[in-house]
A = this chain, B = another copy of it.
């Protein structure tokens, strides 16, 4: 049995794919590297896991340096990457998280940090490009069977506004009619009772809705092969 000193442990970092719909486009928060390797390339925010903290606490701590953490409405683990070649010099394991920021906030970010459309990623450091895309896919999948939209939307909104968010996140058009019906049938949305005044150009005032729950819930379980007579 080898002595433990001959087998050091990997460094472990937490990374976050922080997504927000900004200007009708799904964007990811990136950080421009100031040193080699990948000097000048963009990377996901994150950093080292310290003794005594969980990965989730760690990513929250690192994100605090980039955005107001209270603005992150949802955070979930995506995947842990361990390819020995993912960092050219060191042995570095990374656990990636998905973070979502609602559209109504505009967090102040440091000068070396900026939002980029997920569909037009700049030159990315390490494997961070693939991780960002994995985050986008996780969001897209969960939009269709959970209430995860709550983490992209402001506290209240009209169906049109919500539709714009879904369209940006999903990358394809979404019918306002069907979006409303699906989310109401599942009781994901509920009307606030208010209406939103129309713009200069007129139009009927839109009803205002909110998400019924503040945390992630699965809303479309057992699509098939459900237990018998579970209606």
In the complex, what residues of B have CB within 8 A of residue A93's CB?
Answer: 12, 49, 55
Indicate whether A10 reaches chain B with its CB closer than 8 angstroms: yes
Sort chain A's interface into a size bin: 35 or more
Q: How far is the CB of A220 from chain B (nearest CB, A)?
A: 6
Q: Is the interface of A mostly helix, strand, loop or mixed?
A: loop
On whether A91 and B51 interact (CB within 8 A), knowing A10-B12, A77-B80, A79-B77, the answer reads yes
- In the complex, which residues 38-76 of chain A have their Cβ closer than 8 Å to any Cβ of chain B? 48-56, 58
Per the bound structure, the CA–CA distance linking A25 and B178 in Å amounts to: 42
Per the bound structure, the CA–CA distance linking A12 and B95 in Å amounts to: 12
Which among B51, B77, B227 is the interface contact of A173 at CB below 8 angstroms?
B227
| Contact call B95/A224, Cβ cutoff below 8 A | no
Q: How far is the CB of A175 from chain B (nearest CB, A)?
A: 7
Q: How far is the CB of A225 from chain B (nearest CB, A)?
A: 5
In the complex, what residues of B have CB within 8 A of residue A178's CB?
Answer: 225
- In the complex, which residues 139-186 of chain A have their Cβ closer than 8 Å to any Cβ of chain B? 143-145, 166, 170, 172-175, 178-179, 182
Copies of this chain: 2
| Contact call B145/A223, Cβ cutoff below 8 A | yes
Per the bound structure, the CA–CA distance linking A227 and B72 in Å amounts to: 28
- In the complex, which residues 211-231 of chain A have their Cβ closer than 8 Å to any Cβ of chain B? 220, 222-228
In the complex, what residues of B have CB within 8 A of residue A225's CB?
Answer: 143-144, 166, 170, 174, 178-179, 182
Which among B10, B144, B166 is the interface contact of A222 at CB below 8 angstroms?
B144
Closest to A228 in B: B173
In the complex, what residues of B have CB within 8 A of residue A49's CB?
Answer: 10, 82, 93
Q: List the 10 closest pairs (A to B, CB-CB), nearest first.
A: A9-B9, A172-B227, A55-B82, A80-B80, A54-B82, A144-B225, A52-B84, A144-B224, A80-B95, A9-B11
Q: Residues on A close to B: CB < 8 A?
A: 7-12, 48-56, 58, 77, 79-80, 82-84, 91, 93, 95, 143-145, 166, 170, 172-175, 178-179, 182, 220, 222-228
